[in-house]
Amino acid sequence: MDMLWNGWGDPAKAAPLPDSVTGLLRDLLGVKPVTTPALGLDDLRLPGTTADPAALEALAEAVGGDHVRTDSESRIRHTRGKSTPDLLRMRAGDFSDVPQAVVLPASHDEVLAVLRVCAQHGLAVVPFGGGTSVVGGLAPRRAAFIALDLRRMNGMLELDPVSRTAVLQPGLRAPEAEALLAEHGFTLGHFPQSFEWATIGGFAAARSSGQASAGYGRFDEMVLGLTLATPEGTLETGRAPRSAAGPDLRQLILGSEGAFGVITAVVVRIRPLPEVRLYEGWRFASFEEGAAALRRLAQDGPRPTVLRLSDETETLIGLAQPDAIGGDLAQSEAGCLAIAGYEGTAEDTAQRREQAAAVLTACGGTLVGAEPGERWAHGRFSAPYLRDALLDVGAFAETLETATFWSRVPDLYTTVRTALTETLTEAGTPPLVMCHISHVYENGASLYFTVVSAQGEDPVAHWAPAKHAANEAVLAAGGTISHHHGVGIDHRDWYVREVGPLGVAALRAVKRCLDPEGLLNPGVLLPTD
């Protein structure tokens, strides 16, 4: 199944907002109903591909004629990603970033063959997994490009139960990866909000972080080896789980977002399937108090598998439990909701839960039971569908995230919220700004912001100054421009400032070595020359 071309995920899971929520949006934020009729897929007309017929013929020889697609629907479904500006432009019928063709290789060798053809004909290449980028990672700065859809490379090539490793292909979607591993009693333990649609290759390319990262780690921590296809040949990394044989070349590929090559295989660490999964809710009087409790657990243990904290606004609205928006679980009590989850053996889970409860209680937390935790677990992948429903009624909704050291968390939180609130209020659309701590580490944490406001006359242009202000605030407060969404084009100019001129020069040297013609995702991650 393909995702919605103008929204998120499975069309069958789309649900309208309750009347109580649309009324709140109207009264609180001045949201006006959408009056323009929605475009359907059949209403869209694209110009024919302008790619050189000789290039298309050579691509067909590389992967088979049935696997080079130039029809309008295939091209539309591979246009951009799933950020709110991406979707708004799609809904407005803007297909200026449409690929010339969609190419579906079935093997590493076929990927190499495609890259050779594209180098010969000057076609740029955008690796395409689940299409879930929210930072402009699928909109290159090159008019003539192909989308390299990796969905046919969707298998598990090897499983080593002794070493607890598996070799997975890049086009394998996360649910299918979990199903294949579960047949052998294992799990990756990687469950980001994009879980239902994102792919193994995408997780590696964007340094994805799942909602159970407190227990299982980020995806880049799970990656033991990678195979990369480039216009200059093949790069193999990860001979052993730990090596002192020079710099770790995996780190050049992880987070490279398709700018250096196409990931064609990933060696991952796997874990036994947990006997028990348990999630519960805790309430804290303030975000500051809750953050201090999370820091205690992250630094001194015992660390839950899942550990999250919503601020007062997010808790009040009920976004901590997306399925409860507008229902009876929207939090009427003051304070902040934290979710603690435990996965593992029955004995280990019970022990960690008991010890963590003692810490949370000592830090001022009050146990509110299993229901909030189970509701969060049930709705953990629902927020993108909620975003679509908000867009449908005329609201603007977008997310952004960052991370910093614990000592800087309070300032980063305040600075970004203030930048968003002031910029959008001055533009005549006062926003609702919500935040949660989504991932915790011994030395710091990630902050995940959700912004809801009226759309303005031109929603994409209206959002741009607020996004710019938020990015400036992130850097000013000592945060990183991205914790897990990636760089893409949306964060690129701030990433350049974050790593500095010498860092950019080093990355450019890598790109010149692996992709001398600059064909791979041009303009993504690094500015084009």
Going by the annotation, the residues of the binding site for FAD are 127-133, 257-263
Q: Report the distance separating Cα 440 and Cα 82, nearest Å.
A: 26
Q: Report the distance separating Cα 207 and Cα 203, nearest Å.
A: 6
Q: Which two tokens stand for residue 35?
A: 């009056």
Tell how far CA 439 is from the center of its chain. Answer: 13
What are the residues whose beta carbons fall under 8 Å from the beta carbon of 75, sequence distance 6 or more? 46, 49, 69, 95, 98, 99, 100, 101, 102, 147
Which member of 216, 441, 448, 495 is catalytic? Answer: 448
Tell me which H or E stretch contains 357. helix 346-362
Calculate the alpha carbon distances from 32 to 393, 398, 456 in Å: 8, 17, 9
Binding site per annotation, positions: 127-133, 257-263, 387
Q: Which two tokens stand for residue 91?
A: 């809904």
Report helix, strand or coil for 166.
Answer: strand
Calculate the alpha carbon distances from 339 to 23, 268, 294, 296 in Å: 29, 27, 10, 15
Q: Closest by alpha carbon to 436, among 463, 408, 401?
A: 401
Q: Report the distance separating Cα 122 and Cα 84, nearest Å.
A: 31
- Residue reference for tokens 């960052």: 402
Strand 145-149 to strand 101-103: parallel, antiparallel, or no bridges (unpaired)? parallel
Q: Report the distance separating Cα 297 and Cα 280, nearest Å.
A: 15
Binding site per annotation, positions for substrate: 387
Catalytic site includes residue 413:
no
Residues with a catalytic annotation lie at: 448
